[in-house]
Amino acid sequence: MSAPWRPLRHYVLKVASRCDLACDHCYVYEHADQSWRGRPPLMSLATASVAARRIAEHAAAHDLAQVSVILHGGEPLLLGPARLRALLTELRGTIGAVCRLDLRMQTNGVRLDAAHAEVLLEAGVRVGVSLDGDRSANDRHRVFRRGASSYERTLRGIGVLRSDRFRSVYAGLLCTVDIANDPVAVYASLIEQDPPRIDLLLPHGTWAHPPVGLAERGRDGRPYARWLLAVHERWVADGRPVPIRLFDSLGALAVGGPSGTEAVGIDAGDLVVIETDGAWEEPDSMKTTWDGAGATGLTIFEHSADEVTAQPAMRRRRAGMAALSSTCRACEVVRQCGGGLRAHRYRPDSGGDGFENPSVYCDDLKELIITLNSQPAPPSIGSLPSDVFDQIAYGFGDARAVEALAAEELAINRALVGEVIARFGGRGLPELERSDPVAFNAAIGRPYVRAWAVRCLEESSPDLDRMDSLGESPDRFVSFGGSTIVIDDADPYRDVFGFPVAEADDSPWEAVLAEAWEVILTDAPSGAEGLRRGIKVITPLAPPGDGTQRSATSRDAFGAVGIAFTPKAEDLAVLLVHEFQHTKLGAVLDLIDLVDPNTPEHLSVGWRPDPRPVEAALQGAYAHLAIADMWRRRSEREPGLRARYTMYRDWTAEAIAALRAGDGLTPAGRHLTTRMAATVDGWH
């Protein structure tokens, strides 16, 4: 199966293969794979050292800005403080020398005390704790080997993380869903622990061994959807007091944002496990399918991470939609569901590799997603619905989002034209508005009407003759992805781009635009439909004398871009995507204050030698985000292009970080840059 090459960015380091609890729903010990029995109970420092070198060499070879390592088990705190400190020092020293290292740990919390927390704090590790709810819910599964409750000791460990000294270590709570527990009571008990985030994990199962409640579907309906929706209803009523990753991921995917979890969305296939004996393995969820299912046959002592990525199993994990069943590919919610977790699709009698099936949770996931999608969006941000704002903020925006911006821009044009009419008289425009509102909106909605109206209101001798021709348009139309673009080399108000406009010529715009559209569909699919709906006019610009490219937009010409003709479709596609980013963000800035107008801040950015005002830095970061994404996709097909991708990615990430660290953004601006950062982090 053909799949794009991707480096590995996420590593689960199994530092312990044993556990001090005996949870009966644990996929490591209670499900099909029993390979833990033959592995060392704890990872040795020597093995950890080799693992660190393998991760570092992979990051250096592929110029990765960041990798994440999650200490896992079994129970990782079985290492004890001294061995834990030595292992973390090795990881920080070796991997941190070549890239940023995001260190995390998942623990049951029963051994978490101040001594361990000091080690974790000094190494910059963030810790998630497993807790299934209140005492009765938690002790349904999470008990010691003789059946004793683990609840009080887990709460004691969480209490250490909640203290002022160790609060920065606290990453959140992981709760495995049990439909026998009351969902609202579970939610309330988790919230009581003041977590930075909550993860709700569907218990692992397959079609051969379905999760509890799904074996008799006809009678039980969709119990997991009902359970999760009950939590969601209470969470929304409480004002979403803490992020819940499953809900946030589905919401982000609905508007073109990143998933942030392998449980939903199209699996990126860039996560791998290193066991206590140094074996490279697929993600742990595979342990629920069959004994040895996650094995690759490779070890860190003999094989590099590059060799792991070449394995057929890992290639299948990054095959995206192509790896899904025909049922999934035809489903209306596949972009959000992503077919569910790969292990949950396993059916041994289905032919092929056993994974070309919908998830065993298919009915539940579909009902959950459709119900969430149908619910009212959270309150608006400024005059934009919050889901529209988030679509734009993640860096993309579908047709609906762009049409919402266009409607707001039309309202601005209407107000400006109304002011011109009020001051100078309206000639035939008021009558046109009364007799044919559609024609009136078409006339005043043309991109350069705002530029004309602004000049009328600024000048002592306004050009009122232009009122008679607002509805006229040049006669050079070209096709673009099924829409029509005007090549406008005649409008007298097209000179708003800061560069000389070109005279009429015979440049083959239609042919190159047709090719550019196909490039955009491949390299910028998340924003393609919005761009097709949003760009109405291209005004040719005079080419620069040095042979470089030239393009521009203007806040006074929504829907228009200025471009010096280029015969290369790949270059034209980049220019269109880049400029449409400015168009979208400019429209948002017309409606919502993203930047404090009184800020004196200037920020250094990678693409310019001079420090930029905050708004200019924000505009540049937003435009470069989309271009970085295009080069990311291109580099997956052609690894020789990775340096270009890396340059744009780093420019974007560094500018976003500088914007978020400064004081120049409003709360809405911080919201937007948080979403932008999530998209860039998703590439990692």
Question: How much is the pLDDT for 314?
Answer: 83
Question: What architecture is the 10-374 domain classified under in CATH?
Answer: Alpha-Beta Barrel (3.20)
Evaluate if residue 680 carries a pLDDT over 80.
yes
d(CA 183, CA 190): 11
Categorize the per-residue pLDDT at 453 as very low, low, confident or very high, splitting at 50, 70 and 90.
very high
d(CA 289, CA 517): 43
pTM of this prediction? 0.76
Q: How far is CA 653 from CA 525, 605, 650, in A?
A: 21, 10, 5
Q: What is the largest CA-CA distance in the chain?
A: 91
Residue with tokens 């790949």: 570
SS3 (DSSP) at 11 = strand
Task: Report pLDDT digits (tens) over 549-605.
Answer: 999 999 999 999 999 999 999 999 999 999 999 999 999 999 999 999 888 999 999
Q: Taking Cα atoms as reference points, which of 178, 263, 262, 189 lies closest to residue 228?
A: 178
Angle at 269 between CA 264 and CA 274, to 5 degrees: 115
Rounded average pLDDT over 286-300:
91
Evaluate if residue 492 carries a pLDDT over 60.
yes
Q: Taking Cα atoms as reference points, which of 626, 599, 604 lies closest to residue 617?
A: 604
Q: How far is CA 43 from CA 40, 121, 452, 583, in A?
A: 7, 21, 71, 53
d(CA 627, CA 632): 8
Rounded average pLDDT over 256-281:
85
Q: What is the dihedral of CA 567, 570, 576, 578, to 10 degrees?
A: -130
Evaluate if residue 217 carries a pLDDT over 60.
no
Residue with tokens 């107000």: 415
Most confident segment among 421-425, 530-534, 543-547: 530-534
What is residue 240's DSSP assignment?
-
> What is the chain's Cα-based Rg?
28
Rounded average pLDDT over 630-645:
92
Residue 297 Rama label (left phi>0; alpha psi -120 to 50; beta): left
Question: How much is the pLDDT for 684?
Answer: 63
Task: Report pLDDT digits (tens) over 364-415.
Answer: 999 999 999 888 767 778 788 888 899 999 999 999 999 999 999 999 998 8
- Express as a percent the part of the chain with pLDDT over 70: 97
Q: Taking Cα atoms as reference points, which of 188, 185, 190 lies closest to residue 175?
A: 190
Give the start-to-end residue ranges of the domains of the chain. 10-374, 467-683
d(CA 422, CA 430): 11
Rounded average pLDDT over 650-676:
93
pLDDT-wise least confident of 207-221, 242-256, 262-276, 408-422: 207-221
Q: Do 572 and 650 touch, CB atoms closer than 8 A?
A: no
